[in-house]
Structure 1
Amino acid sequence: MQKSNATLLAALLLTLAACSEPDSGAAGKGAAAIPVTTALVQPVDWVDTIEAVGTTKARESVTLTAKITETVRKVNFTDGQRVDAGDVLVELTSGQQVAALAEAQATYKDAERLMNRNDDLVRQGTVSKQVADTARATHDSAQARVALLRAQLADRVVTAPFSGVLGLRQVSVGALVTPGTVITTLDDIDTIKLDFSLPERYLAALGPGLQLTATSIAFPGREFSGKVLSVDSRVDPMTRSVVVRAELPNADHALRPGMLMTVHVLRPERRVLAVPEIAIEQIGPDSFVYRVKDDDTVERVKVTLGARQFGKVEIVDGIDADARIVVDGTVKVREGSKITDAGKPKDASS
C-alpha cells in the first residue's frame, strides 16, 4: 500500500512539473534580447602566404686553398676581414722562381734585340731569311718561358677572387702547405641567397619576383624582406617538392650562410570576404555564422571557409557582402534568438 502511494505521488509530481514548464516558442518570443556584438561583412584586401623553412647561402662562396707544395712566407689578412677582389691574402716562398724569372726576362730581351737586328739585316740582304727565322723562334721561346715563370709565381700568391668577408685563418707563417690545404673561406654576404622547398601543388603559383619575408630565432621580432629569384627546373620525385631560391638584402651582414629561417611567400593580393574566427561556430565538419535579420533576430547560416591568418578567416560561400553577423556572443544565441547590439556595429574585417 505504501509502495502504491509513493508511485502515485511521484507521477503527480512529474505531471505538475510538466505543466509548469513554459512553452519554448512562447518564451523565445517574449524573452529579453541577448546582448551581443555584431559586425558588417565587407570585402577586404587579402594576401595569402605560403610558409616554409629555408637555409641561407652566400651570394658567392669559396674555400681558398693552396695550389702547390710550398712554405708560407707571409699572411696578409686577419679573421673576418673585409677584402676586395684581387687583394693578396697569402704569399708563399718564391725566391728561386723570382731569380729564374729575372734570368728569363734578360734572355728574352737579348733574344728580342737579336731578332730585330736580323730583321733589319734581312731587309738589307745581308743575312738569309733562315737566320732571321731562327732568331724569331729563339725570341718566342724566351717569351713563353717568361710567361711560364710568371704563372708559377702567381701560384705562389693567393688572392681574393671577389670582394667579401674572410673566415677564420687556417695557416701560419712558416707552415708547409700542399695542394688542397685550406687557407680560409671567402663569402660575399652583401646579398644572401635563401633556398627552401615547397610541395609541387604550389608550383603554378610560384615565379620570380614574388615578395617574401623571413625570420630567424637569432633576431626575434625582426623580419627580412626579399623576393623569389628562381624556381628549380625539376621536382624531386621522392618528396614531390621543388626548391625555390630567393635573395635577401643583407647590408648590415646580420645574416650568415647556413642559418635556418622561417619563410612566408606572399602571393598576389586579392579581394575576399573575411570575418573574425570567433564569429564561426563549428559543429563537426560544418561551419556556421549567425546572421542578423531585419527584425533583430538571428538565423544560423552554413558557410564555406577558406584561408586563415591573423585571427581572420575567409568566407568562400554562404553569406554576401554587407550581411550583419554576430561576432562576440555566439555561444549565447540560438536560431531565432532576439539580440541587441552591445556596441556600435563595425566592419567584420577590422
Structure 2
Amino acid sequence: MLRRRMLIMLGVVLLVVLGLGGYKAFSVYQQIQAFTKPKPPVSVGVAMATQQPWQSLLPAIGSLKALQGVDLSLEIAGTVKTLQFESGQKVKAGQLLLQLDNDVEKALLGTAEADQGLAQIEFGRGSQLVDSRAISRGDFDRMAAQLKKASATVAQLNASLAKKRILAPFSGTIGIRQVDVGDYLPSGTMIATLQDISSLYVDFYVPEQVLPKLALGQVVRVNLAAYPKQTFDAKISAINPKVDDTTRNVLVRASLPNPDGNLLPGMFANLQVLLPGENTRVVVPESAITYTLYGNSVYVVEPRKDADGKPEKDDKGEPILTANRRFVDSGERRGGLVVINKGLHAGEQVVSAGQLKLNAGANVAISVDKTLQADQNSPPRVD
C-alpha cells in the first residue's frame, strides 16, 4: 500500500516536471522564432541624386565704400564768416564751402604786397646801377634778398588766407553740416562729410586658399539688408598684394555702379563671388546628409540581391529594398541642396527622411517625404 502511494506521488512529480519543461521549451521556441523572424521594413522617405547646373559661389561679407570720401575739417582755428552749402547738397570740385574770418590776414597781405612792390622797384633800379658800378655788388645782393623776403611774406599770407576757407576737393554729395555761421572753430573741427557715391567699392576678405580662383573682372553678387529683394552685380577691381599676417585673409575690392545714388557707403553687404568650375554637379537634398565626426554619409536605397545577383522579392512579388550606408565627400550647400563631389552617382536613391531609425542593411519601405517638393520624391528603382 505504501509502495503504491510512493509510485503515484513520483508519477505526479514527473508529470509536473515534464509539464514545466515543455512550457519552458515552448517559450524558448517562441523567442527563437521572434528573433529569427524578419523585421518589418522601416518606412523612409527617399530622393533621387540628380545632376543639375551648378554655379560655384564663394560666400563673403563686406561693406560699401565711396569712390571718394572725406570728412572735411579745418586746418587752422577761426570764426565762421560764411557757409556756402546746404546739408545734402551736391557740390562740384573747387566750390567754396566755408569761409573763416580773414580780415587780419587781408590787412597783413596788403602791407606785405606794398613791401614787395617797393622791393621790386629797388631791385630794378639796382640791377641798372650795379652794371655801371654806381652801387656795390653787396648792396645789390641785399636788394635781391629783400625782394625774395617780401615775396615769401606775400606767399605765406596767401597760404594763410587759403587755409581760412574750405573748397570741395572733388564733386560729390555733402552731408549734414556740423557748424553754423559765427561759431568759433578750433583746428581739426569737422564741418561735414563729402562722398562721391556715383560709384561704390565693396571691400571684403577671403581666405588665402581661394586666391587661385580669383581674378580681376570676376562677377560678385551683392545683397543688402536695405534692399532684400534686389541683387546687385559688382566686378572685382583690385586684389591686395599682401596676406594679413593675423587672419591669413586677403582684402579684395569690387566696383559697384550706383547710378541712382540709392546705395550709401558703410552699408553691410552679403556677397557671393562667382567662381569658375564645373557647370553640372550631382546634388541631393540637404536632409539626406548625415554629419558625423567620422565623415559625412548617406543611406543609399538598393534592392537586395541573392547569390546569383538577382533582386530578391517578398511574398507579394515586390522587390526587397535595403538601405546601405555610404560615406560621401559633400561640398557647397545652397537652396536646400548639397553638392556631392565623390561617393554618389546621379540616379541613385538616398534616404531623405527617417535615417535615425536605420541600421546598415535594414529593409526599408518607401513613403513620401513631405519636406521635399513633389519632383524630388522618387519611386523605388529596380535595376
TM-score range (shorter-chain normalised) is 0.7 to 0.9
Structure 1 residues 66, 315: closer, same or farther in 2, change over 3 A? Answer: closer
Cα–Cα, structure 1 residues 38 and 68, in superposed 2: closer, same or farther, change >3 Å? closer
Kindly indicate whether residue 344 of structure 2 is the aligned counterpart of residue 315 of structure 1: no
SS of the equivalent of 1:222 reads strand
Distance 1:169 1:232 in 2: 38
Distance 1:283 1:209 in 2: 37
TM-score, length of structure 1 as denominator length: 0.72
Q: Equivalent of 2:297, from 286, 295, 309?
A: 286
Unmatched tracts of structure 2, length 5 or more: 1-15, 304-309, 312-317, 355-360, 367-373, 379-383
Superposition deviation, residue 219 in structure 1:
1.0
1:221 Cα offset (Å)? 0.8
Cα pair 2:59 2:273 within 8 Å, conserved: yes
Tell me how far apart the structure 1 counterparts of residues 62 and 268 of structure 2 sit (CA, whole Å).
6
Identical-pair percentage: 31
Distance in 1 between residues matched to 2:49 and 2:271, nearest whole Å: 33
Contact 1:39–1:324 under 8 Å retained in 2? yes
Aligned amino acid, residue 233 of structure 1 = K
Structure-to-structure mapping, 1:160-309, within 5 angstroms: 160-206=168-214, 208-228=216-236, 229-231=238-240, 233-237=242-246, 239=247, 241-277=249-285, 280=288, 285-290=296-301, 302=326, 304-307=328-331, 308-309=333-334
> Per-residue deviation at 1:336?
10
Distance 1:169 1:278, change over 3 A: closer
Q: Residue deviations 1:127-178, cap 9 Å, x none?
A: 2352433322222222111101100100111112222221211111111111
How large is the RMSD of aligned CA atoms in angstroms? Answer: 4.8
What displacement does 1:278 show? Answer: 7.3
CA distance in 1, matches of 2:250, 2:161: 46
Match of 1:86, SS state, is: coil
Measured after TM superposition, the shift of residue 93 of structure 1 is 0.8
Describe the superposition over 1:222-271 as per-residue Cα deviations: whole angstroms up to 9, x where unpaired. 1122233223623353x554444433222222222222221222222324
**Contact 2:299-2:351 at 8 Å conserved across structures:** no
Structure with bigger gyration radius: 2
- Secondary structure of 1:270's counterpart equals coil
Choose 132-141 or 77-86, whichever is displaced more: 132-141
5+ unaligned residues in a row in structure 1: which ranges? 29-35
In structure 2, the CA distance between the partners of 1:183 and 1:281, relative to structure 1 (3 Å rule), is closer
Supply the distance in 1 between the matched residues of 2:154 and 2:291 (Cα, whole angstroms).
87
Question: Where do residues 1-350 of structure 1 align in structure 2 (5 Å cutoff)?
Answer: 41-42=50-51, 45-123=53-131, 125=132, 127-128=134-135, 130=137, 131-206=139-214, 208-228=216-236, 229-231=238-240, 233-237=242-246, 239=247, 241-277=249-285, 280=288, 285-290=296-301, 302=326, 304-307=328-331, 308-320=333-345, 324-326=347-349
Q: Taking structure 2 as the reference length, what is the TM-score of the superposition?
A: 0.67
- Which residue type is aligned with residue 328 of structure 2? T
Q: Structure 2 CA distance, aligned partners of 1:249 and 1:283?
A: 41
Between stretches 195-204 and 266-275, larger displacement belongs to 195-204
